[in-house]
Chains A and B, each alone.
Chain A
């Protein structure tokens, strides 16, 4: 929860990536601590919120979990527009999803938002035996594109909190530090302003 005198960051976060890579699973693990073996495909996009408290700030995430199905690709801008953070997800056991992830990164780069915090997430790290994308390959691509790279498993919960914690930290750093007088309960009127630092 918010600490007194702490700044509050309201940040829109969007998850992108091929279908079945585990976007919804990552979010459900982070927001509700749940995991389902047979998570259904997302329709359009699902909306979640979660709050992370750091030493220096409290980050309120507005999370857009988009559908990876092809028919929704052209509508993605509607969801990533105005985002402060983007999480591009692929499945380590599928080369195709990595190729797809690269395309998402390119598309995001074209938006020219230099402040965008981007993460490249190699999910399903529990499927090591069937790995198709090497860690080095992922890391290298992430570095070239100014993203941070992390391997996660929504199934075992490995690195899930670290992923969001790291994003929160980067957002806090990017957000000029001022002591906040804003109360969390005022969120409604500020909901439309995304990634704004109150204070």
Chain B
């Protein structure tokens, strides 16, 4: 199958128009009757500082977002304003008017403040909070939701001079920020993207910014909206107000809310809330619901003590890890023989009663084996890897911990033996048996011996330095089978002193036909491969913008009612984006904004061919538990 310009079913150079109908139908179905007073008072509470958020401060552009997610700013208050105004418009004018007054002081330009707030280095006063408290004496306060700087590469201080070459993980410090904020803080209201988890009784469980306990009032407000609509037999899914979206997800007694002005599609934000919920289940299992049956006012925050880092790392990954919207995982590129050696030894231990054996390098899979019939969902893998990577504890020593895989069985704990072979590479052995530790430890020692003997661990390190597919290596002559494996993947590179990624930004040019980047997702394998970033998108901020663009494409391609084949071509001031979806694969490609359309399409065909040519090295084939 090949892609050409004539077969495009929708060739559209302009961004797709927003679809306000759905918003209206949402709001239209809300029958407001008596709780208007309640809403009005809630709205007053929102407005009580009289701070105006009328200006979107055009930090609304992704460019204004700090590379560090912690620095996202935005006039969230504005969303609330318009939410209430909209409700008022349907049910009662009084509410709308009161809101209008309360927020009347708008017109403030936040531009400068924004850029100051976006500086989010560990040392900044606004990021102190938990980090300090865990220190010495403060530990007794029970405030264990900390975000200390971890020991390894993450500790590197941010340096804007090189932010283009640092892996996003490297420049980003996990942990809760701005705990000193609450909903009365100007800075808090200006954050571009908030995440909240609360209980059905309105008790705060988690907030991305600010101290949950100080946000009790705000949580109650959110709860009021949700239960109000739920009581009417309807479910709030989202409210859209100008640039802002408020997305709700109700999971039994647990409510999740995202307030965002990042212009991400509803489906994407909802998917992110689903992952947040999944992360919570991974830590606690769904049996936490029982606590609410016994006591509706149950306070869940102590149960999540110390997990802020996990959630903030997940939220961070929403903008730097395409797995969060592709629902697929990615592999570390390795020579076939190397991967087979790793698969073989994991298969060996899986046969001895291990449910899943997973060898990973950062967020990439080296190899993965499941016991018979057991299948692991890519989202579970994402959440598990996020949990392990964001919790420093796992790096201290081998450990054995209860974890739950929400897609596998949300009700029960599995037990995870976790061991780091080096700073990047870790092994996870999952079992249903709580006394399997010594067996798993033995398995690990066997695995380690084999990995060392067959040089797998050093190959992993080398692959990490070399990176994956580089667009400039795209074979020029698409006569693949004879000239196959043209990329560096098959040619050992001489070792370099400095990491590869530093070199890249210096002398990289984009690939042929202005190709900057691509993601190829194999539908059958549940895996994707993403090319390395070239110079035009070298900074985390640019990468985030590109991922958001892909995410939007993904959402539009997966709307209901699309056929098996579909293409999309978009051009804006940042890129040309091309998307091609078939039953077998999905290709997302970004080109120079001036790229020629016909050439771009031709290039996409070549990318697909290239991926097929090297699939043995970039994908985990065969032994995947997904295909059973």
Chain A positions within 8 Å of B, measured between CB atoms, are: 19-22, 24, 28, 36-48, 65, 67, 69-72, 75, 78, 81, 91, 93-94, 96-97, 124, 127, 130, 132, 155, 188, 191-192
Add 6 more A-B contacts to A36-B151, A47-B400, A72-B402 (CB < 8 A).
A40-B392, A40-B393, A42-B393, A47-B399, A47-B437, A93-B140
A132 to B309, CA, bound (A): 30
Q: Are B399 and A46 in contact (CB under 8 A)?
A: yes
Chain B 271-311 interface residues, beta-carbon cutoff 8 Å to A: 283-284, 302-306, 309
Chain A residues closer than 8 Å to B284, beta-carbon distance: 71
30 examples of A-B residue contacts, CB within 8 angstroms: A19-B144, A19-B306, A20-B140, A20-B142, A24-B393, A24-B396, A38-B146, A39-B134, A40-B146, A40-B391, A42-B396, A42-B399, A43-B393, A43-B401, A45-B401, A46-B397, A47-B397, A47-B400, A47-B441, A65-B397, A71-B283, A71-B284, A71-B303, A72-B402, A81-B435, A94-B139, A155-B136, A188-B442, A191-B441, A191-B442
B152 at the interface (CB under 8 A from A): no
Cβ-based interface call for B628 (8 A): no
Kindly provide the distance from the CB of A24 to the nearest chain B CB, expressed in whole angstroms: 7
List B residues at the A interface (Cβ < 8 Å): 131, 134-137, 139-142, 144, 146, 148-151, 283-284, 302-306, 309, 391-394, 396-403, 413, 416, 434-435, 437-438, 441-442
Beta-carbon nearest neighbor of B284 in chain A: A71
Question: Could you tell me the distance in whole angstroms from the C-beta of B269 to the nearest C-beta in chain A?
Answer: 28
Given A19-B305, A70-B303, A96-B142, A41 contacting B136 (CB threshold 8 A): no
For B434, the chain A residues whose CB sits under 8 A away are: 75, 78
Find the A residue at minimum CB distance from B131: A38
Within 8 Å by CB of A70, from B305, B396, B416, lies B305
Enumerate chain A residues within 8 angstroms of B393, measured Cβ to Cβ: 24, 40-43, 46, 67
Q: Of all chain A residues, which has the CB nearest B403?
A: A44
> In whole Å, how far is B433's beta carbon from the nearest beta carbon of chain A?
10
Q: Give complex CA distance A132, B397 in Å.
A: 32
Asked if A94 and B140 sit within 8 Å, CB to CB, the answer is: yes
Judging by beta carbons under 8 Å apart, are A41 and B400 in contact?
no
Asked whether, in the complex, the Cβ of B402 is within 8 Å of the Cβ of A44, the reply is yes
Q: Known contacts A40-B391, A78-B435, A155-B136: does B397 contact A19 (CB below 8 Å)?
A: no
CB distance from A98 to the nearest CB of B (A): 10
Q: What's the least CB distance linking A26 to chain B, in Å?
A: 13
**B306 and A41: CB pair below 8 A?**
yes
Which residues of B lie under 8 Å from residue A93 when comparing CB positions?
137, 140
With a 10 A CB-CB cut-off, give which of B139, B141, B392, B399 has the most chain A CB atoms.
Answer: B139
Residues of A contacting B150 with CB < 8 Å?
40
Shortest CB distance A174–B (Å): 23
Q: Shortest beta-carbon distance, A81 to chain B, in Å?
A: 8
- Distance (Å) between the CB of B228 and the closest chain A CB? 32
Whether B139 and A70, one on each chain, are in contact in the complex, defined by CB atoms closer than 8 angstroms, is no
Q: Within the assembled complex, what's the spacing in Å between the Cα atoms of A141 and B541?
A: 57
A127 touches B304 (CB 8 A): no
Chain B: which residue is nearest A194 at the CB level?
B438
Q: Are A75 and B396 in contact (CB under 8 A)?
A: no
A22 to B144 Cα, complex, angstroms: 12
Given contacts A28-B396, A93-B140, contact A71 B305 (CB under 8 A): yes
